[in-house]
Amino acid sequence: MAGYRKLGRTSSQRKALIRSQVTSLLYHGKIRTTEARAKEIRKVAEGLIAMAVREKDNFDTVTVTAKVPRKDDKGKRVKEEKNGRKVTVYDEVQKEIKKDQPSRLHARRQMLKVLYGVTEVPSTPAGRKKNTKSVDLPAKLFDEIAPKYVSRNGGYTRIVKIGQRKGDGAMEVLLELV
């Protein structure tokens, strides 16, 4: 007997389906899918959350000096003239950043192997690509999701049966983070 469900797809399609649904589950907190898919997605999602819980505190805080362009009241870069050329003016700023320890970096890379990139698009249309920002899902796992489950030993997701789907009669469920 196989250790996983084939879901009626080739291996590449199945992996893509699971990756996309796990990404959606972690980004939105819940998804609606069939029961067989939910059971497969649950395995992968719980593994990622367990990894995040293990590695959530493995980082060092480091202070670095960064050059940041000076901006005027309208948000545009301030330029001054040097040797007949306009040059942007930079200020030096002290920033505290999180530097991952090797085990956390490895965990982050393992997560990135599974998760797809998510781009957040604002609800108000201000142009096609304007105001979109990329979401760092591993950071969300470490900073938001993992602290909720520190005292919990597994069982990070819940499957709630909704009923049968109208078209093909497949059992639909709601897969959500507890």
- Cα separation of 89 and 11, whole Å? 53
| pLDDT value at residue 3 | 84
| pLDDT value at residue 130 | 72
Query: For domain 11-56+101-177, is the CATH number 3.30.420.40?
Result: no
| pLDDT value at residue 123 | 76
Which of 160, 121, 132, 144 is CA-nearest to residue 26? 144
- DSSP code, position 157: E
Return all residues near 19 (Cβ < 8 A) that are at least 6 apart. 114, 115, 116
Q: DSSP strand E in 48-169: where? A: 59-69, 79-82, 85-88, 90-100, 118-120, 133-135, 157-164
Q: What is the pTM of this model?
A: 0.84
Residue stretches of the chain with pLDDT short of 50: none
Ordered by start, the domain boundaries in the chain are: 11-56+101-177, 59-99
| pLDDT value at residue 53 | 96
| pLDDT value at residue 132 | 83
Which of 172, 159, 164, 162 is CA-nearest to residue 25? 159
| pLDDT value at residue 129 | 67
